[in-house]
Structure 1
Amino acid sequence: MTAINQLYPQPLWQWFEQICSIPHPSKFEHALSAHIQQWAKSKNLSVIEDKVGNLIIKKPAYPGMENRKVVVLQAHIDMVPQKNADKVHDFEKDPIEAYVDGEWVKANGTTLGSDNGIGMASALAVLGADDIKHGPLEVLLTIDEEAGMTGAFGLEAGMLDADILINTDSEQEGEIYMGCAGGVDAQISVPMSWQAPEQTNASFKLTLSGLKGGHSGVNIHLGRGNANKLLARFLFIYADDLALELVNFTGGSLRNAIPREANISFMLPSENQVKLEQAITEFQALVRAELSIADPDMLLTLESIETPEKVIGEEAQNTLIDLLHACPNGVMRMSDEVEGVTETSLNVGVINTENESVEVLCLIRSLINSGREEIETQLTALANLSGASIELSGAYPGWKPDNNSPVMAIVRDTYNDIYKKDPTIMVIHAGLECGLFKEPYPTMDMVSIGPTIRFPHSPDEMVNITTVGQYWELLLAVLERIPAKD
């Protein structure tokens, strides 16, 4: 088997192997951060950890290039922790088991962390090299991008000297990103009441699995199944007919990942068990037919459980099912300005049953503020109708495209010179940190590039080896072409 650290470009892949070996899910980046700081100090590089945990590393210019504009290479330290149900893995303790599979690097049953580990590895490889031509260089590694953009929110003015920022968090070779969606978290709390169950009833757990999932921005337009929404649909169709008494609804794990799995626990009269099994068979066939191209492998699995002490009250159950089934999800509107790009979307990402409520966590994304606000008001209206409460939090701005961006022109022309074809200039329906950086650094010129990454935020995540080399060559050529200061 090919060793990852022997792939081209070797310095980048050697760093990526180190990154995979040190656990770094969102909120738990400290070990990897400490490793990077120790390495930077050993290279006599200036390294600062700011008050929220971001790392800023500075490197002098290559001899003769001291008069160039200052560039900051930016990536985020954290990764999304997702795994297959049958995979035993502790993201806070266990390394990522990365391996080469043909033209791709993948992980064994978990997310790979190429989002944004490849970008981070490229920045660290540039810092460690003596033969790469560049002007004064800074590297900004932010924390917690995937779980709230805490690092980007906390970045203060005056920490960076750069005139230009190159974000490395894009996921398609041949595309240059010059804008992105903003977003906001919406948490709906549905009040619960409880009652004693019918002791003669049978008790079951129904698990919906087998979906592809994926990034709730990059993959939202693909029409993949949402486990939370599908299981809510099952309940809406069959709960009354089966005299089902709901005990628990749990689904998804991250607001920015399309949920791949969900489960419900419930009771129903023993005589309805055959009808339940028929309903499961019927619904599974229905969904597989509907998603035969986008997501064909949905699976419903039924297992017996111990009799619970309580079930959700009838009125609360009906309200919950109605709200979950009625809640919008997926693409709300495509962009009029950028062909083929989603303008506004909603992901019903996480459902958890607690003692006093069922919590529903959604992520709204939009390229325009009015699109985001429209979905906010729809969810608020739905909560009002259901007697639920809603909290909107963590709003972050989009990154407004600048068609006159000098660094975008440099990247575009450099790409054309290397590959003899024009790259695609894009706006991405995902939450890059660039919009937040514009707050403390309003005049900074920004662009985003990266290799081809497929299915980020899911255990199917993989990065194309050839495109990593192409991204690296482009990055180095762009650094060499950065112009002198005015």
Structure 2
Amino acid sequence: MLNVLENLEPKRVFHYFEELCAIPHGSGNEKAISDYCVAFAKSHDLWVRQDEANNVIIRKPASLGYEKAPVLMIQGHMDMVCEKNSDVDFDFENEGLKLKVDGDIVSASGTTLGGDDGIAVAFALAILEDKTLEHPELEVVLTTDEEVGMKGAHVLDVSDLKASYLLNLDNESEGQILTSCAGGMKSRASFPVRFADWEGFGGKISISGLKGGHSGAEIHCGRANANRLLGRLLFELSKELNVGVRSLNGGMKDNAIPREAEAEIVIRPEDKESFIEICHDFIDAIRDEFAVADPDIRIEYQIDIEKEKTFTIFNPTDMERILFMYVQSINGIQTMSMELPGLVESSLNLGIVRTEEDKVIFSWAVRSSKKSLKYYISDQLAYMVEFLGGTYWYEGEYPQWAYRSESPIRNLVADTYKELFGKEAKIEAIHAGLECGLISEKMPELDIVAIGPDIMDIHTPDEHLSVASVERSYRLICEVLKRIKR
């Protein structure tokens, strides 16, 4: 239902954000939102180009007196991460988001909000619409599939783009001016499984309640990874019991720290008491380990003790290889930057484990601000996967965005921020990946910064954005446009 946000300021930004939220636009499902942006441009008599990947480029001529100013690009992505709580019935393919407002906070009911990066698209459309703004010629670049390997940016044709400066609006921290980011890739592994018959009690282990979060922006927070916890519990059980495994599934996106995971299992009747005791000891240990970083973890089990049955399970030898991968493969922070204290330099996140017929798939998001470390992490995974009889590959690789010592746009945004709000902006690098790396590779002379409003808990159903921060960020963007004048 529209008009939930109609009383929020800036009105046109929230008008467009609500319209965008009404259009399903998860990664891979962006045709409708892309067409919406094209229709918007045509209705406002603006030049527009839409490519086969559904990227959209819209041009707005310079306002009076800005004809000789350098061209500025405003850039964001149209897709969103689709995450929901397990008890929420919601169809991301066909339903619009159910928005709600609580004071300064906008969120969605039980799902991700898509503020990452829908608010950037809303900013751009409001700017394109407003004929009262003073600004240079604008090139608005809206890309697709950013959350699943930056596929749109990979194929973006920049041959007709003229921008000297780029404002990327895919930053979720107000007052922060990003000037570089990590590169990355999506690493995959496939383990074949054979099957065996196993008699016992059927059951399930479920892990839920984790905070999750963005695997770049929050990898340093010490939060639990549901896939890793599941593997660890199965390992603890394997030290004393023979547990049959029927399926393994966890996580939805490789770039989101997984919040939930589950295994369908079979245990021998004589092992029931030991199984319960090991699970309880494990639950106590995990609650203690993550009491601060992830206090709401739930580890639950169900065992059907009514009747012993024959089940089809993973061949124990194949399962042992998979369990070895769970327990021994690297995960989380690998190195910290020596140049920028406090910045994660390289990491990986086991975001997805899923069972597909006769194989188990592992998916990681690998990140590094140094290309060599990115490949070293990939090599370590490949070595272990292939040693264990699996198949390894990577895809969706994107480059890091390097810091520029001289940056007029960085200086302009920082000075404008200080004048508007009376405090210094934070000029920082980020461990998350941004499309700035790919675009700067295509346009090496482009001077880039990334800014945006406060959006919290992105890539989780708890995602929410600050209304006041959106207003301040929009004011900053419009003032920066006004000051780009020669």
TM-score bracket relative to the smaller structure: over 0.9
TM superposition score normalised by structure 2: 0.96
Contact 2:38 2:48 survives alignment (8 Å): yes
1:309 Cα deviation (Å)?
4.5
2:357 is matched with which residue: 346, 355, 358?
Answer: 355
CA distance in 1, matches of 2:485, 2:62: 13
Which residue is 1:433 aligned to? 435
Moved more, 293-302 or 140-149: 293-302
Q: SS at the partner of 2:65?
A: coil
The question of 1:286 aligning with 2:288 is answered no
Q: SS at the partner of 1:130?
A: coil
Query: Deviations along 1:121-143, whole A, 9 cap, x unmatched?
Result: 00110001111110111111000
Q: SS at the partner of 1:359?
A: strand
Which residue is 2:336 aligned to? 334
1:157 Cα deviation (Å)?
3.0
CA distance in 1, matches of 2:217, 2:181: 11
Which residue is 1:239 aligned to? 238
CA distance in 2, matches of 1:308, 1:334: 50
Structure 1, unmatched stretches of 5+, are none
Which residue is 1:315 aligned to? 317
CA distance in 2, matches of 1:409, 1:240: 59
Aligned residues: 481
The question of 1:476 aligning with 2:478 is answered yes
Contact 1:19 1:117 survives alignment (8 Å): yes
Moved more, 138-147 or 184-193: 184-193
Code of the aligned partner of 2:341: E
Identity of aligned residues (%): 39
Contact 1:219 1:455 survives alignment (8 Å): no
User: Is the alpha carbon distance of 1:308 and 1:176 closer, same or farther for their aligned partners in structure 2, counting shifts above 3 Å?
Assistant: farther
User: Is the alpha carbon distance of 1:308 and 1:94 closer, same or farther for their aligned partners in structure 2, counting shifts above 3 Å?
Assistant: farther
CA distance in 2, matches of 1:239, 1:85: 28
1:219 Cα deviation (Å)?
0.7
Contact 2:99 2:108 survives alignment (8 Å): yes
User: Is the alpha carbon distance of 1:308 and 1:119 closer, same or farther for their aligned partners in structure 2, counting shifts above 3 Å?
Assistant: farther
1:483 Cα deviation (Å)?
3.1
Query: Deviations along 1:84-105, whole A, 9 cap, x unmatched?
Result: 0000000011111121122211
The question of 1:445 aligning with 2:447 is answered yes
2:388 is matched with which residue: 386, 389, 394?
Answer: 386
The question of 1:66 aligning with 2:67 is answered yes
Contact 2:55 2:144 survives alignment (8 Å): yes
Structure 2, unmatched stretches of 5+, are none
CA distance in 2, matches of 1:51, 1:312: 42
CA distance in 2, matches of 1:227, 1:168: 30
Contact 1:182 1:397 survives alignment (8 Å): yes
Q: SS at the partner of 1:4?
A: coil
Which residue is 1:421 aligned to? 423
1:144 Cα deviation (Å)?
0.5
Q: SS at the partner of 1:197?
A: strand
Matches within 5 A, 1:78-117: 78-117=79-118
Q: What is the aligned-residue RMSD (CA, Å)?
A: 1.5
Query: Deviations along 1:385-443, whole A, 9 cap, x unmatched?
Result: 32222112221100001121111111111111111221110111111001101232111
1:64 Cα deviation (Å)?
1.9
CA distance in 1, matches of 2:249, 2:184: 24
The question of 1:152 aligning with 2:153 is answered yes
Matches within 5 A, 1:144-223: 144-198=145-199, 201-223=200-222
Moved more, 369-378 or 254-263: 369-378
1:240 Cα deviation (Å)?
4.2
1:292 Cα deviation (Å)?
0.5
Which residue is 2:227 aligned to? 228
Which residue is 1:7 aligned to? 8
CA distance in 2, matches of 1:107, 1:422: 32
Moved more, 441-450 or 271-280: 271-280
CA distance in 2, matches of 1:55, 1:417: 33
Which residue is 1:369 aligned to? 371
Q: SS at the partner of 1:310?
A: strand
1:339 Cα deviation (Å)?
2.1
Matches within 5 A, 1:118-129: 118-129=119-130
Which residue is 2:269 aligned to? 270
Q: SS at the partner of 2:90?
A: coil
